[in-house]
Structure 1
Amino acid sequence: MSVELNLTAKEIYEKEFKKSRVKGYSEEDVNDYLDLIIEDYMKLDKLLTRLKELEIENQNLKIKIDALKNTNREERPVQVTNLDILKRLSKLETAVFGSNGVDYDL
């Protein structure tokens, strides 16, 4: 995304207006107004810079997400919880000793 501005803050600051012999604008009013415009341009410049940084960061994160999606599940270690171990032990006990009428439902 590229934004082309007609003027830079420096160009606005350095702008000189022609003096009118008859009923011209107040130089002080013009300068005050230009100061406000310069301030806005400087804020806009900072925002555009930050936007470019965020676009780059966004692209990098998209690349990382795609890489994670493509990771094979087999490469991930199998996680065994205590509950899984208890279930396996219960099945083993049942297979070895029989149920004896006791049901340990996990």
Structure 2
Amino acid sequence: MLFSVEPKESLKDLFNREEEVKKFLQCVNNERMIIVTGLRRVGKSSLVLAGLNSLNRGYILVDLRKIFDNVSKRITPDKLYEEIHFNLTKINKIYLDGG
């Protein structure tokens, strides 16, 4: 759906982002870590989700907004570890359950 506010999860739902998708997929195949930054609501999450889904392989996506502490204005290593561990456990369960 083109005009929903939720991030897109398929390349066919992205509009006029061919160059960004190409660059992102090249980085996924050649780099150890990718950080996608930019202004709010320009399609960063859609680019990442659609690009990763197009590869048909497992991934974890850590949304740092979920673990950002507004009081200390930081992301603690413990919270980051918890989020990564949670996501790895979830993807491992999917593979162990067959699907």
TM-score w.r.t. length of structure 1: 0.28
Pick the structure with more helix per residue.
1
Greater Rg over alpha carbons, structure: 1
TM value normalised by structure 2? 0.30
